[in-house]
């Protein structure tokens, strides 16, 4: 289905509903992917009574690809409109990577409306670029170099990122699949989202989260270091950190079975 979030901008939403009474779980994908990155969750969670809902962030997948803003605020606003339109309640929000940052901004900006539990998965938090409050990100120069690579050679860039994404040798087919998902996005959207991640952060938003929160993070994450997850856990009151020893940044794929079990346990607790 499609939901219009502003004039001429429609967000693609997938809704896998196993039946009445199913617990809603809303997935927000990361960069440079789309909702299909959660296939290993969609294959399992509905069997246990979970309604799996996901969207393609504007500029990605099957959603509209406008030229305008891709700020965290704008993307959080899109998420709010989708949740409002679907009239979801008692929902678990699962944000992966940049989708984690968007989810955090949503929780702060909208007071956690519709959401009763938050799962952050390899989330870009507190920041992507190093700051005094978040010293484990990349440098500003490294971020700019990554952005410039997309202007010069996007296919090579996506291939290089795929090699850093996973902790295990999942084979060329999985890496090709990752790159293919990236090509379903507008290149300017990928650039703009990474530019926003390089200049914005969610440090001040963390204290505004007041629902049970689980932080799932790969110990071998090369993109968002595990120490960043430890800082996030310290700044979200009452949150719990779940390390995954065999995962890099692609936890929902690296350790899909273990992640699915931990996520369902957290939602049901």
Q: Which residues are catalytic?
A: 97, 221, 249
User: What are 26-47's pLDDT values in tens digits?
Assistant: 999 999 999 999 999 999 999 9
Q: Which pLDDT score, from 0 to 100, does residue 12 have?
A: 98
Distance of CA 215 to the CA centre of its chain: 12
User: What are 77-122's pLDDT values in tens digits?
Assistant: 999 999 999 999 999 999 999 999 999 999 999 999 999 999 999 9
CA–CA gap between residue 100 and residue 4 (Å, rounded): 22
CATH of domain 2-268: 3.40.50.1820
CA–CA gap between residue 18 and residue 63 (Å, rounded): 24
CA distances from 156 to 145, 152, 176, 218, 268 (A): 14, 9, 12, 25, 42
Q: Is the peptide bond before 107 cis (omega within 30 degrees of 0)?
A: no
Q: For all residues of the chain together, what is the average pLDDT?
A: 96
**Structure tokens of 94?**
């699962």
Residue 28 has phi, psi (to 5 degrees) of -120, 115
Strands (E), the chain: 2-6, 9-16, 23-28, 50-55, 91-96, 115-121, 213-218, 240-244
For the chain, the structural domain boundaries read 2-268
- Residue 171 banded pLDDT, cuts 50, 70, 90: confident
Whether pTM > 0.85 for this model: the answer is: yes
Q: Which pLDDT score, from 0 to 100, does residue 138 have?
A: 87
Only one residue has tokens 């860039």, namely 157
- Residue 246 banded pLDDT, cuts 50, 70, 90: very high
User: What are 205-233's pLDDT values in tens digits?
Assistant: 999 999 999 999 999 999 999 999 999 99
């Amino acid at each position: 289905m499609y939901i219009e979030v502003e004039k001429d901008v429609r967000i693609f939403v997938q809704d896998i509903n196993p039946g009445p009474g199913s617990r809603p779980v809303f997935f927000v994908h990361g960069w440079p992917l789309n909702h299909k990155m959660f296939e290993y969750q969609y294959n399992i969670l509905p069997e246990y009574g979970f309604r799996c809902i996901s969207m393609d962030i504007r500029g990605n997948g099957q959603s509209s690809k406008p030229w305008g803003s891709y700020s965290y605020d704008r993307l959080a606003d899109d998420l709010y409109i989708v949740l409002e339109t679907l009239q979801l309640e008692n929902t678990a929000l699962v944000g992966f990577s940049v989708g984690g940052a968007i989810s955090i901004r949503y929780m702060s900006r909208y007071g956690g409306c519709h959401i009763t539990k938050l799962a952050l998965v390899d989330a870009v938090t507190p920041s992507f670029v190093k700051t005094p409050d978040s010293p484990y990100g990349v440098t500003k120069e490294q971020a700019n170099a990554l952005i410039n690579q997309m202007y010069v050679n996007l296919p090579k860039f996506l291939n290089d990122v795929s090699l850093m994404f996973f902790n295990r040798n999942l084979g060329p087919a999985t890496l090709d699949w990752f790159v293919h998902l990236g090509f379903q996005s507008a290149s300017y959207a990928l650039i703009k989202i990474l530019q926003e991640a390089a200049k914005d952060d969610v440090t001040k938003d963390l204290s505004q989260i007041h629902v049970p929160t689980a932080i799932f993070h790969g110990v071998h994450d090369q993109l968002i270091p595990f120490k960043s997850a430890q800082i996030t856990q310290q700044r979200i009151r009452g949150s719990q950190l779940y390390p995954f020893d065999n995962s890099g940044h692609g936890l929902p794929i690296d350790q899909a079975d273990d992640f699915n079990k931990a996520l369902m346990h957290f939602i049901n607790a």
